[in-house]
Amino acid sequence: MKIGLDIMGGDFAPKAAVLGAIAAYKALSKDQAIVLIGNRDQALPFFAEQDFNPDLFEFVHTTDVIGMGEHPTKAIVQKPNSSISLGFRLLKEKKLDSFSSAGNTGAMLVGAMFSIKTIPGIIRPALATIVPKLKSGYGLMLDVGANADCKPDNLLQFGALGSLYAENILHIKNPKVGLMNIGEEEEKGNLLSMATHSVMKDTHLYNFIGNIEGRDLFNSKADVVVCDGFTGNVMLKLAETFYILTLKKGFKDEFFDRFNYEQYGGSPILGVNAPVIIGHGISNPEAIKNMILLSRSMILSKLVDKITAAFN
Amino acid sequence: MKIGLDIMGGDFAPKAAVLGAIAAYKALSKDQAIVLIGNRDQALPFFAEQDFNPDLFEFVHTTDVIGMGEHPTKAIVQKPNSSISLGFRLLKEKKLDSFSSAGNTGAMLVGAMFSIKTIPGIIRPALATIVPKLKSGYGLMLDVGANADCKPDNLLQFGALGSLYAENILHIKNPKVGLMNIGEEEEKGNLLSMATHSVMKDTHLYNFIGNIEGRDLFNSKADVVVCDGFTGNVMLKLAETFYILTLKKGFKDEFFDRFNYEQYGGSPILGVNAPVIIGHGISNPEAIKNMILLSRSMILSKLVDKITAAFN
C-alpha cells in the first residue's frame, strides 16, 4: 500500500506534513508506505529536528508548488510538476493507492477529475465533511462545496456516496440519509429540494429518512446529510465559526471537542476513481497524521470499488 | 397609534400574549394603544391573575383560530374570522397601524400579501431576522424563509429592504450590505449568487460591500446579510441550535445571551404596506412585549413610507 501525501499543501507546509507523516508512520504496518511529494530539501531539516530517518519514507521530489490563492484549473494545467499535479499523475498510474493534500481545494478537485476521473455512472463527485453528533460519534454532510449548483440527480447520487462512506468508513449500519430542507413535510422546500425529495423517496439505493432541517445537523435524525454544495459550504463555515467561538471563549465540552477538524483527517472527495482527501488549510501535524490514517481506511475498506459496483 | 396583537398565536397563547401585552402597556405612552385580537373569554382569567384591568386594552373578540400546523393559504381563505385574518383585515382598513403574531408563520406571510399587499415596485417581500454581532449590537439577515427560490432581482431588493431596516430600526448609519456566498471573490458562487453579485455591485440603492461567507454571519463585515430564503432558513435554524446548545450546556456568555430570540421581538416581514412582525412559536411574555415595542418602532420610524419612497 502506498499512501501519497503532498507535503507542500497548507499553511504550515512542509513542517506540519513532515511531523504528521512521522506520527502516522509509527501507526502503520510495514507494508503501508507513505510517499511524500514535494520539496525534499525543504523537508529534510524537519526530519533532522526530530532525529527521524527520512529514508523510511519514499520521496517524489519537486520544487513546483500550487499556491493557496491560485486559480485551480489554470494551475493544474500550467504546473504539471507541482506537488498536487504529480500526486495525481502517480495516482492515475497506480503508483499510489491514495492521495491527500492540505493545499488548494479547487486544484485538488480539478486535479482529481482531470486525472483519475469520475467513477462511471456518477454525474459529479462530491466533497464530504465529517459532522460530530451530539449523542456520540460522527455523521457525514455532502456536498460542501464541489458543486455550487446541483440538480436532483446529483443529490440523489450524493445520498448513495454518503451512505457507502458512512457504512464503510464510519461503520454505521444502514445509515440514515436525510435531505437538508426548510421543513420536514414532503411538500416543503425550494424547487431543487422538492424535486429531490420526490426522487429520493423512491430510491432503493439507501435508507432515505426524509427531509431534515438546519437544526438537525448534529442530532441523530440522519447519519448522512445531503445538500447542494452552496448550502453545505455555508453551513460548514457557519458551524466552524461556532467551534472557534467556543474555543476562544474557553468553553470546554466533549461535543465541541469533537468539532476539532484535526481529528477528521480532512474531507474526502467521493465519486472519483481513487481515495482522495483534502485537508484543512490550517492542518497541523495531528490533522495530517489523521489524514494519512483516513487514507489507509479508505484503501483498506475498498470504498472506491464498492462505489463503483453500486453505480454499475 | 394602534398596535395590533394576535393573542391566539404561539405555543403559550393566550397567556404569554396577555402577560406580554401587560408588560408592554407599562412602557407605552397614552396615545399608543394595544389592540388584542382573539378569544377574550380565554384571555380574561390571565388579566384577573395579574390583577390588571383588561379595559386598558381594546379587544377584537373572535373564537376562530388558525392552528400552527394548518395549511397557510387554505386557512386564510377558509377562516376569515380567525384572529390572524381579522388582524390583517383591520390593518388593511387602517384600523390598526401594525399587526403581529407568534402564530402560523405561513399564514402570517400569506395574510400579509393577500390583505395589505406588497409595496409597489417590490417583487417579493422578505422575512428578516436579527443577528447578534460579536463586537456588539445587531445585524439583519434576510430572506430567512419567505422565498425558497429567488432570482437576482429579489436579492437585489432584499438588500434595499434590509438596509432601510438597519438604518431606521437598528440605527446603523450607511449599513454594510453583504451577499452570502461560498467565497469572497466576485467570480465565486452558484448561478444565483454570481448573477446577484453582478447586479449588486452596480447598485446605488445601498452600500454593497461584496460577498461574505458562512463564517461572517456574526462578525462586523456586513450589517445586512442577503441570501435566498432557503439558505437563510437553514442558517437560522443551525444558529439557533448552537444557542440552545450553549444554554443546555450552561455556558454563560454575553454574546450567546444576545442570541436570545426573546430580545428581538420577532421577524419583520419587509416589503409589505404596513408593519407586520412574526414572533417565534415559543414566544414567552418577554418576547411578546418586545414584539409590541418593535411594532411601535416600525410605526414611529415610518419605515414602510421610507421603503415605499425608495421603490417609487
Cβ–Cβ below 8 Å for B241 and A193: no
Cell numbers 477538524 correspond to what residue? Answer: A261
User: Domain tally for chain B?
Assistant: 2
B85 and B137, same domain (yes or no): no
Mutate which of A238, A254, A256, A258 to disrupt the B interface (most B C-beta within 10 Å)?
Answer: A238
pLDDT of residue B71: 93
pLDDT of residue A259: 83
Amino acid at A185: E
Mean pLDDT of chain B: 96
φ, ψ (nearest 5 deg) of residue A81: -105, 10
A277 and A263, same domain (yes or no): no
A90 and A153, same domain (yes or no): no
pLDDT of residue A62: 97
pLDDT of residue B39: 98
List the CATH number of the domain containing B259.
3.40.718.10
pLDDT of residue B250: 87
Q: Is B196 on the interface with A (CB under 8 A)?
A: no
pLDDT of residue B156: 98
Cβ–Cβ below 8 Å for A189 and B218: no
Q: Is the pLDDT of residue A251 over 90?
A: no
Instruction: Kindly report, residue by residue over A252-288, the tens digit of the pLDDT.
Output: 888 888 888 888 889 999 999 999 999 998 899 999 9
pLDDT band for B295, please (50, 70, 90 cuts): very high
B1 and B98, same domain (yes or no): yes
Contacts 24+ apart (CB under 8 A), A43-47: A43/A7, A43/A14, A43/A17, A43/A18, A46/A14, A46/A15, A46/A18, A46/A19, A47/A18, A47/A22
Q: Is B227 within a domain? A: yes
pLDDT of residue B120: 97
Closest chain B C-alpha to A303 CA, distance in angstroms? 29
- The answer to whether A122 and A149 have CB atoms below 8 angstroms apart is no
pLDDT of residue A250: 87
Higher pLDDT, A223 or A254: A223
Taking residues B129-154, what's their average pLDDT? 96
Instruction: Kindly report, residue by residue over A139-155, the tens digit of the pLDDT.
Output: 999 999 999 999 999 99
Nearest to B215 among A134, A213, A241 (CB): A241
Q: Is B86 within a domain? A: yes
Instruction: Kindly report, residue by residue over B46-105, the tens digit of the pLDDT.
Output: 999 999 999 999 999 999 999 988 999 999 999 999 999 999 999 999 999 999 999 999
A135 and A264, same domain (yes or no): yes
Instruction: Kindly report, residue by residue over A83-128, the tens digit of the pLDDT.
Output: 999 999 999 999 999 999 999 999 999 999 999 999 999 999 999 9
Query: What is the span of the domain harbouring residue A212?
Result: 123-270
A7 and A55, same domain (yes or no): yes
Q: Is B308 within a domain? A: no
A186 and A206, same domain (yes or no): yes
Q: Is A169 within a domain? A: yes
A249 and A262, same domain (yes or no): yes
Cβ–Cβ below 8 Å for A217 and B230: no
Q: Is B311 within a domain? A: no
B13 and B97, same domain (yes or no): yes
Mutate which of B179, B188, B190 to disrupt the A interface (most A C-beta within 10 Å)?
Answer: B190
Q: Is B310 within a domain? A: no
pLDDT band for B30, please (50, 70, 90 cuts): very high
pLDDT of residue A234: 98
Cβ–Cβ below 8 Å for B190 and A149: yes
Q: Is A23 within a domain? A: yes
A106 and A143, same domain (yes or no): no
Cβ–Cβ below 8 Å for A182 and B255: no
Measured CA to CA, the distance from residue B64 to residue B75 in angstroms comes to: 11
Q: Is A308 within a domain? A: no
A64 and A94, same domain (yes or no): yes
Mutate which of B155, B182, B197 to disrupt the A interface (most A C-beta within 10 Å)?
Answer: B182
A214 and A294, same domain (yes or no): no
